[in-house]
Structures are given as structure tokens and as C-alpha cells.
Structure 1
Amino acid sequence: MKSSFKDIVDVNKPVLIDFYADWCGPCQTMMPILDEVKQSMGDKINIIKVNVDKNQELAGRFQVRGVPTFMIFKNGASLWRQSGVIPKNDLVKKLTEYL
């Protein structure tokens, strides 16, 4: 994952990165919401889940201090960041801004 992270986010469509942990209750709350976002937006976006316990170096590079933390990348650039539970409509609206 670490070696290909740049390749994953260096695409010409929004990539939503979900920094999460298995033990995190709010992260589990977000799972079905992210599924709904992907169903709603289809191939216009990518959603990548990053387990912070298994990818500590990557989480450290982006200074992830709490989970869940979401970031949107496009063409390799970080465009947006927010932590906590986010409603589906808010995520869809934010992702749509970067299409």
C-alpha cells in the first residue's frame, strides 16, 4: 500500500481516503455510509480504506490523530479533510465539487 499510495491518489477523479481502525465505533458506523456513497457515485470516484494500525507510517505522514479521518485527493493533490462521522449527502456533495 505505501509504495502505491501516490499512484492511487494520482488520478483524474476524486479519491476519498478513509483512515480507520477496526476498534473504532464511528468507523464502523461509516462503513454502510461509504457503501451508499460508492453506489450513488459509481465509477466517478474511488474510495480507499486505510487501516491506521496497519499503515502507521502513512497515517503519520498525513498527521491522522483521530479516526475516522477522511481526505479527498485528485491528481495527487490533497483537496479536503475532515474527521468524524459524515452523513452520506454531505460526502456526496463534497465529492461532487471535485468531479
Structure 2
Amino acid sequence: MKSVINALRGRHTWASWGVVAVAFLPSLALADNCPRPPEGSAVQPPPDLYSSNGTLHVQLNYVTTVDGAGRTLFCYQTPDGLESPTLHVQPGDVVQIDLTNMLP
């Protein structure tokens, strides 16, 4: 009888760890979103994107994550990871923004 109880306890423990792991997977997937510079470091200017031949086409994802202090961070990122780029255009240029809402 003890072996059956121990076997059930083992399964229960592994099942519990599985639930914990699944609960944290979404936060791990978002860990690279909205990165912030270390405290006390110099803040770098955002990346620059310029129009070319009268057109600026930008793909942005609206993403979120939770930082170590429990604050929810929101930002815009390009598919290659540039965060909140500054868009530079000339008068009369066409601006096309493809925005994908990635919020859970």
C-alpha cells in the first residue's frame, strides 16, 4: 500500500511542477519584449527609420511584458526587435504602418 501512495505522491509532485511550468511559459516567451536599460545606465536614443523614394513602410508589433518589479511594460517593436523607432519622412511621403496587436 505504501508503494502505491508513494507512486501517487510522485505523480502528484510532477503534475504540480508541470502546472507551475505552464503558468510561467507565457512570461518566459515575452521576456525579450520591451527591454529596459539597466538602472543608472545612459539611455540610448531610439532607432531611426527613414522614408525611401517617398514611402515609409513599417511593420510594428504592439507587445507587453512584466518587469522584475511587477510593472506591465508596453511597447512597439519591429519584427527584427527594434523598439519604438523614430519615423522620419518628408512632406508628401506615404507612410504605411502595419500594426499587429500581440497583447494576450
Structure 1 or 2: more strand by fraction: 2
TM category (shorter chain) comes to under 0.3
Report which structure shows greater RCO (CA 8 Å, sep ≥6).
1
Structure 1 or 2: more helix by fraction: 1
Q: Point out the structure with max Rg over C-alpha.
A: 2
Per the normalisation by structure 2, the TM-score is 0.23
Per the normalisation by structure 1, the TM-score is 0.24
